[in-house]
Amino acid sequence: MAALIIEIQNRHDHRFYKVTKSTLRVGRALDNDIIIADPSVSPYHFNLQQREDGRYELRSLADENGIRVRGKQVNDTISLERLPLSFEAGRTRVRILEQSHPVAPTRLISCRNGSACIFGHWGWAVLLFAAFMVVSSLETYLSTPFMLTWESFGETLLTNTVGVIVLAAGLFVVNRLASHHWDFPASLSLVSLILIASILIEGVIPYVNYIFTTDLPGYAITLAWSIVLMPWIIGWFLIRLNHANVLAGAVVVIAVLVPNAFLNIKAVADRYNLLNDFSPAAFYSDDLVPWDHRLQDTISIDDFAETSLQNLKSSTKR
């Protein structure tokens, strides 16, 4: 029989041990061949015993939590004829596999071959954070309907700064829990990019609504960004870039998706009275922007009256 490997799956890592003895004992006691520091594991939990034909068999030694295979308690000796074999010793997951068992493909890390990368470098993180501050400051200046003072402008900048740092810290903690990887610059870079994109999208929406003379395109863009693109970017960041667990990354994406989806769908429902027969308040367009771009030049009332009279005379002559 080929050489065996015992895999101990912990929350933070997987440990592999090569079976080099005919009898190998595993448990929490310090005189075991493999020691598992889990209080739910017995001092002597199980052992592997090689038979005369060269095959191994697994036998439980624990009187407390024992061995569970597919959720069922197993007290009998298990012959290791079909590998890999997965089971639980207490709360610890264990796998027994052959040494020739294939491993997962290597995951490429970002910024390989010395190329520039916007994630994982403090230089890019500071640059993107500064870019967000410039964009948000410009957006605040242009969208404020009253005269800005340095005091109010500074309060807005302070609020934006604290908001970015808090969001980046939240993503940093989530990334740590999902991938066991500390990388605050990457979190700061991603949050800055997402917020910059959000500000630019919010600036484009009024023009799109103006051109199409309806706010449906704006709602469609908002839903696509908040429900599709933003969760996809966060999932890519956690799973592909930082190699987080797929399930943990999916949970984070869903946690981001659900509130955004609810708020945006509710806004559409309120706007078009999809849930009520009677609108409690009149809807007013909020698509005004500082730049008063028009598809045609504005004409005065006198010019409009004169043009109308000329058109009326010409149509009368016909």
Q: What is the pTM of this model?
A: 0.60
Distances (CA, A) of 129 to 24, 110, 165, 225, 255: 55, 20, 10, 21, 24
| Nearest of 237, 254, 137, 240 to residue 190 by alpha carbon | 237
Q: For residues 318 and 309, what is the distance between their CA atoms, to the nearest angstrom?
A: 14
What is the model's pLDDT at position 115? 46
Q: Where are the alpha helices (DSSP H) in 180-297?
A: 184-212, 216-223, 230-235, 246-271
Q: Tell me, what's the pLDDT at 6? A: 93
The span from the CA of 307 to the CA of 160, in Å, is 50
Helix (H) or strand (E) holding 17: strand 14-18
15 alpha carbon, distance to own chain's centre: 27
Tens digit of pLDDT at every position of the chain (318 positions): 568 999 998 766 789 999 988 899 999 999 999 999 989 999 999 999 998 888 899 999 998 888 999 888 888 899 888 889 999 999 999 999 998 888 877 766 655 554 447 777 888 889 999 999 999 888 887 777 666 677 777 888 888 889 899 988 888 888 887 777 778 888 899 999 999 999 999 888 888 887 887 778 888 888 888 888 888 888 888 887 777 777 777 887 887 778 777 777 777 666 666 555 555 555 555 545 545 555 566 778 888 888 888 888 777 766
What span, in angstroms and rounded, lies between the C-alpha atoms of 6 and 20?
11
How many CB atoms are located within 10 Å of the residue 127 CB?
14
**Alpha-carbon span 220 to 228, nearest angstrom:** 11
